[in-house]
């Protein structure tokens, strides 16, 4: 029996809708990496697994995370990882793999967060600003003999990193989009990472200026207002028609948000919790609020907004395999929570399957390809 013209039309539309959903709709892809802590165990394990899966599912051993995302955002230690995997070489290609970036954070961790004792009675525990800055300078230093450094423009994909500016008492967001528009908003990458990592009670505020000296900022940790920078990235994309002309609403976005573990439980269980631990509790709460807000914005469509988190009490001692075996909590309407059935690893694998089916991204690459730095060898 022949199908009627109306039936054929209905099936044709259904097929088109099904294919567009599963084969990709050219949605803009956002990768967000939380701040918090000094080790980035959860985010690091997630990034390595993410890139390994991309290479496995594309059969391309040289594929990078930046090839499959349109914009990458990060705060604190998450910003350092974000900057490392987007920093471009002379050909506009990613300078570091995810594994290289995480290896450096691991191998240089004691240098980046070198403890020093300060205060009149030497009771205040701080990290050495000079030690952190020396590591960041080596990571983002140019290859040329003059020793200049990579800037926001020297990234292979749009990069977004927030801090809080004490001069204006407001958030300040570093972005490649602004840097491409004017040198007054182009900053050296090592300074940007140092600014967003200036956690109160751990580091002193960090003052920096743009490469032309016209814009200045006295920065403290961006995590104070944007520990989960996913919302800032979504807002940026929705309002940046130059780089993202096809985005009209959140339905045109796909977001992968990587947490850095929950330290709240340890602080609550420890009656002698220090001020930094209390700050961690606040930051965890901010991330949870943003997670629920984005879940609501995406109509709780978990294929378009994926949040990777781990809630073990000893996150800083977790191994990569443990992080991937963890199951996160899903924010539900009206403040509800639900333990997910899938592990972090399987959720990342499903996410990669979806973005690989769509193909590589096509957003503008680095607007400044003439600068190059020497790739790190064994994190050195």
Paired tokens of 327: 């199951």
- pLDDT at residue 271, as a whole number: 38
- pLDDT at residue 184, as a whole number: 96
Q: What is the mean pLDDT of the chain?
A: 79
Express each pLDDT in 138-186 by its tens digit.
999 876 656 689 999 999 999 999 999 999 999 999 999 999 999 999 9
Establish whether 154 is a catalytic residue: no
Strand partners, 125: 117
Interhelix angle 129-139/189-196, rounded to 10 degrees, is 140
Q: Is the pLDDT of residue 375 over 70?
A: no
List 100, 221, 243, 291, catalytic entry: 221
Q: Is the pLDDT of residue 369 over 80?
A: no
- pLDDT at residue 59, as a whole number: 96
Of 335 and 204, the structure prediction assigns the larger pLDDT to: 204
Yes or no: say if 253 and 194 are a contact pair by the CB < 8 Å rule: no
Query: What's this model's pTM, rounded to 2 decimal places?
Result: 0.80
Express each pLDDT in 107-135 by its tens digit.
999 999 998 766 555 556 688 899 999 99
Q: Is the pLDDT of residue 362 over 60?
A: yes
What is the set of domains in the chain, with CATH numbers? 27-106+147-313+344-358 (3.40.1090.10)
């Amino acid at each position: 029996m022949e199908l009627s013209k109306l039936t054929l039309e209905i099936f044709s539309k259904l097929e088109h809708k099904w294919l567009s959903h599963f084969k990709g709709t050219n949605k803009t892809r956002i990768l967000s990496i939380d701040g918090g802590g000094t080790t980035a165990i959860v985010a690091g394990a997630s990034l390595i697994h993410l890139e390994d899966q991309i290479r496995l599912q594309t059969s391309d051993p040289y594929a990078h995370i930046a090839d499959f995302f349109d914009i990458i955002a990060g705060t604190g230690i998450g910003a350092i990882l974000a900057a490392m995997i987007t920093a471009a070489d002379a050909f506009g290609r990613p300078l570091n793999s995810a594994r290289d970036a995480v290896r450096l954070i691991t191998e240089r961790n004691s240098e980046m967060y070198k403890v020093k004792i300060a205060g009149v009675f030497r009771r205040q525990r701080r990290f050495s600003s000079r030690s952190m800055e020396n590591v960041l300078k080596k990571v983002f230093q140019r290859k040329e003999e003059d020793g200049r450094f990579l800037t926001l423009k020297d990234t292979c994909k749009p990069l977004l990193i927030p801090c809080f500016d004490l001069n204006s008492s407001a958030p300040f967001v570093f972005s490649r989009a602004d840097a491409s528009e004017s040198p007054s908003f182009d900053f050296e990458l090592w300074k940007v990472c140092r600014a967003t990592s200036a956690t109160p009670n751990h580091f002193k505020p960090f003052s920096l200026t743009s490469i032309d000296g016209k814009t200045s900022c006295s920065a403290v940790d961006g995590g104070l207002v944007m520990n989960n920078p996913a919302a800032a990235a979504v807002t940026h994309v929705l309002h940046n028609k130059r780089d993202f002309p096809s985005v009209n609403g959140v339905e045109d976005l796909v977001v992968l948000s990587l947490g850095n573990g929950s330290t709240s439980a340890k602080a609550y269980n420890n009656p002698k919790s220090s001020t930094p631990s209390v700050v961690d509790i606040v930051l965890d709460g901010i991330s949870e609020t943003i997670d629920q807000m984005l879940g609501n914005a995406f109509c709780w469509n978990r294929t378009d907004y994926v949040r990777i988190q781990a809630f073990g009490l000893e996150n800083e001692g977790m191994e990569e395999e443990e992080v991937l075996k963890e199951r996160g909590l899903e924010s539900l309407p009206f403040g509800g929570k639900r333990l997910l059935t899938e592990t972090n690893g399987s959720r990342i694998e499903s996410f990669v399957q979806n973005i690989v089916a769509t193909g590589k991204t096509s957003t503008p690459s680095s607007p400044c390809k003439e600068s190059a730095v020497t790739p790190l060898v064994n994190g050195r």
